[in-house]
Amino acid sequence: MAAAAPASAPVARSAAASSWYRAVWRWHFYAGLLVLPFLVWLAVTGGLFVFKAEIDGYFHHGLKYVEPTTEQPAPASELVAAALAAHPGTLRKYTQAASGHEAAEVGITTPGGEQLSVFVNPYSRQVLGTLPEGGSVAWTIRKLHSLKYFGPIARGAIEIAAGWSILLVLTGLYLWWPRSAKHSALAVRGKPAQRVFWRDLHAVTGVFVGVAVVFLAITGMPWSVLWGAKVNQWANGHNFGYPAGVRVQVPMSEIRIKEGGATPWSLEHAKLPLSAAPGHEEHAGHDAHPLADDPRPIPGPDAMHPALGLDAAVGRFQQLGMAAGYTVNPPRGATGVYTASAYPHDLSLQRVVHIDQYTGKVLLDMRYSDYGPLARWLEWGINVHLGQEFGVPNQAVLLIACAGIVLLCTSAGVMWWKRRPTGGLGVPPLPSDRRTLGGIAALLAIGGALFPLVGASLLVMLTLDFFFRDNFK
């Protein structure tokens, strides 16, 4: 009997390894069942949106581009006046032409509440046309990408899919990991008619694409309906969400930066500062302020202390060195501020500046370098996710990754179809030691704790697997 003991140890280890393999395979299958349709959708729409500038340049060329001339561009106030004459309403934002061959964009709110983007030739002041706010082809693709058109439940499904895709990659790597030297782990055997061909193709593609899947899932999470919102609030930290290094003692409003227009994701919950009320001692002698000479001032609540006109505000932002193509949001109310924001592809030029609407005094000047470590990492990840950080190479890598994801999902589908039993789902068999299922579930619970919606879906799958595991074939 003593002589048989050493021989049983490898057998026991082999049985344990087999149980773990089957348990991981089973949960890898469940993850794929939940994720693959969403991954294909995200890969196709995401691969298109990477080329947003090119897409909008093609479909909206007549709105966005003009023939440059030797003339100086018209003042901002005249371009806004031309836009409002053609489409009466209230000015919401003004976006300066980023280059000599681009149109200026005037955002207005119509009396009926519709938000329009009006494109104006900066030289001739001609109104070139309009689009609904966020209504370009590229933005439509982006909203399809996030399922924004379909409400919070659909967006929650995207969040679940992103979280499960990380678990899918981790379990897939475990299944792929070589356990023998019989063949290369990176070889694709067989022919397309054989299941082994699709199995190897799926495994090898997953090895190379897995890193991209995890990166895109994590960097896409900031836009998610639950996890993104909560992390956003946490990332803002203290002092009304402004990042470390730009703490200032100025009165703060209850208006969030994102309510005025585009803003860095990590600052969406930050609050706008307040302009000093007219008559405050800080405004003594304000009538002679050099920025108050614009002939078209925005009326203030006090004729003795008029607000700066749009041209004066733009001039002030020009003095501050804002990057070309920045957007100006006018003050909202007597204590509102002028806000200029620039989000070029170069993160070092990303900047948001708030100035007092009466004096032009800088109330807050935020740059990428001022953000805290978490906000900097998040914004960098978002920029890479959008294909902006490294230019054309960034776009090319993302396009290849998206094509790889489609191939990964396609090979998984074909492989499953070839192995599924007639009339069954083809769920991988239960492990001989069912306790390993509990061990895998415990490991998956870590991911569920990090991503609450994923955790909720995990509980659902655990319940179904527990009660119906013997019926899943």
- Predicted local confidence at residue 253, as pLDDT: 61
Within a domain: 300:
yes
* Cα–Cα distance, 181 to 183 (Å, whole number): 6
Same domain (yes/no): 206, 273: no
- How much is the pLDDT for 252? 63
pTM given for the model: 0.81
Strand positions, DSSP E, 133-292: 252-256, 271-273
Q: Which segments of the chain have a pLDDT < 50?
A: 1-13, 238-242, 244-247, 281-304
CA 200/CA 183 separation, integer angstroms: 11
- Of 87, 106, 135, the last residue of a domain is 135
**Which residues fall within 8 angstroms of residue 429, CB to CB, at 6 or more apart?**
22, 26
Written as six digits, the tokens of 401 are 């990754």
Q: From 227, 259, 255, 232, select the one nearest 243 (Cα to Cα).
A: 232
Tell which of 115, 135, 155 closes a domain: 135
Residues 343, 406, single domain; the answer is no
Asked if 45 and 164 sit in the same domain, the reply is yes
- The helix/strand/coil state of 444 is helix
Q: What pLDDT was estimated at residue 287? A: 36
pLDDT score of 10:
47
- Does 128 share its domain with 153? no
Residues 6+ apart with CB under 8 A from 359: 276, 282, 283, 286, 289, 291
Q: Is residue 307 part of a domain?
A: yes
For 381-390, write each residue's pLDDT tens digit: 999 999 999 9
Q: How far, in Å, CA of 437 to CA of 126, rounded?
A: 68
Verify that 267 and 366 share a domain, yes or no: yes
Could you give the dihedral angle defined by the CA atoms of residues 162, 34, 458 and 149, in that order, rounded to the nearest 10 degrees? 60
Q: Are 103 and 74 in contact (CB under 8 A)?
A: no
Angle between helix axes 310-319 and 76-86 (nearest 10 degrees) is 140
Q: Which amino acid is at 236?
A: N
Closest CA to 459 of 3, 24, 30, 18: 30
pLDDT tens, position by position, 49-63: 999 999 999 999 999
If asked whether residues 22 and 158 sit together in one domain, one would say: yes
Within a domain: 156: yes
3-state DSSP call for residue 425? coil
Residue 245: per-residue pLDDT: 41
Paired sense of beta strands 90-95 and 327-329, if any: antiparallel
Do 318 and 401 reside in the same domain of the chain? no
CA atoms within 13 A on the CB side of 28: 22
**Residue 40 sits in the same domain as residue 178:** yes
Distance of CA 151 to the CA centre of its chain: 17
CA dist 102 and 79 (Å) reads: 13
Residue 5 included in any domain: no
> Tokens 């290094």 sit at which residue?
245
For 229, residues 6+ apart whose C-beta sits below 8 A from its C-beta are none
- Specify if 384 maps to a domain: no
**Residue labelled with tokens 């093609």:** 58
Residues 47 and 177 in one domain: yes
Q: Look at the block and give the residue holding tokens 């949001």.
A: 329
Tell whether 231 is covered by a domain: no
**Same domain flag for 150 and 122:** no
Q: What is the DSSP letter of 418?
A: H
Residue 120 lies in domain: 76-135
Which stretches within 237-388 are classed as H helix? 310-319, 373-385
> For residue 257, how many other CB atoms are within 10 A of its CB?
25
Residue 9 is predicted with a pLDDT of 43
Same domain flag for 348 and 249: yes
Q: What is the pLDDT of residues 132-160, one digit of tens each?
A: 998 999 999 999 998 888 888 888 888 88
The whole-angstrom separation of Cα 125 and Cα 80 is 9
Main-chain phi, psi angles of 27, to 5 degrees: -75, -30
Q: Are residues 40 and 164 in the same domain?
A: yes
CA distance 441 to 459: 9
Q: Which pLDDT score, from 0 to 100, does residue 101 have? A: 95
328 Cβ partners below 8 Å, 6+ apart? Answer: 76, 93, 94, 95, 96, 310, 313, 314, 317, 338, 339, 340
The total number of structural domains in the chain stands at: 3
